Amino acid sequence: MCVVGGKMSEGINFSDHLGRGVIVVGLPYANKQSPELKERINYLNSLKPESGNVFYENLCMKAVNQSIGRAIRHKDDFAVIILLDNRYTNRANIRQNLPDWIRSRLSCYDSFAKAFSSVRQFFHNKQM
């Protein structure tokens, strides 16, 4: 278990059999009250309206995509990626910032039982 943007989540690549899943709870937005980030957003917005907000969202999604990369390391690798926040499916701007190969496989479940069953089936199929 790691915090997005923390030391453990950024620099470690687990060997294939040690990293078979990533669970991202929420969206890891940076502290918007940080003086540096606030100024950067204001500066970008002064150049082009809304560009600072786009930068802020891209910063968040870059962190999500880097976290996902801790489990998917090469083309023959596999892992379960669980995005625990309905904004990943309900907000087009969030979904658009996910890689195509994730967007095309994105599934939404309304219960833990259905999600767990899907994860179980995924790993069962990979053992064949």
Look at residue 10 and tell me whether its pLDDT is greater than 60. no
Chain segment 71-93, per-residue pLDDT in tens = 887 888 899 999 999 999 899 99
Asked, for residue 11, whether it belongs to a domain, the answer is: no
80 phi/psi in degrees, rounded to 5: -90, 135
pLDDT at 3: 74
What would the mean pLDDT of 106-118 be, rounded to a whole number? 93
Asked, for residue 65, whether it belongs to a domain, the answer is: yes
Q: Which residue has the tokens 């687990």?
A: 14
The proportion of the chain whose per-residue pLDDT surpasses 70, expressed as a percent, equals 90
pLDDT at 51: 96
* pLDDT averaged over every residue in the chain: 88
Asked, for residue 112, whether it belongs to a domain, the answer is: yes
- In angstroms, the CA 19 to CA 42 distance is 39
Asked, for residue 107, whether it belongs to a domain, the answer is: yes
pLDDT at 22: 87
Asked, for residue 41, whether it belongs to a domain, the answer is: yes
Q: Which domain holds residue 48?
A: 28-126
Looking at per-residue confidence, does 96 or 73 come out higher? Answer: 96
* Both structure tokens of 21: 């899943």
- In angstroms, the CA 2 to CA 23 distance is 10
For the chain, what is the domain count? Answer: 1
Asked, for residue 113, whether it belongs to a domain, the answer is: yes
pLDDT at 74: 82
Q: Which residue has the tokens 């690549």?
A: 13
Asked, for residue 54, whether it belongs to a domain, the answer is: yes
> pTM of the prediction?
0.82
pLDDT at 125: 93
- In angstroms, the CA 60 to CA 37 distance is 12
CA 127, distance to chain mean position in Å, is: 25
- In angstroms, the CA 96 to CA 115 distance is 22
- In angstroms, the CA 97 to CA 33 distance is 23
pLDDT at 66: 86
Asked, for residue 44, whether it belongs to a domain, the answer is: yes
pLDDT at 39: 97
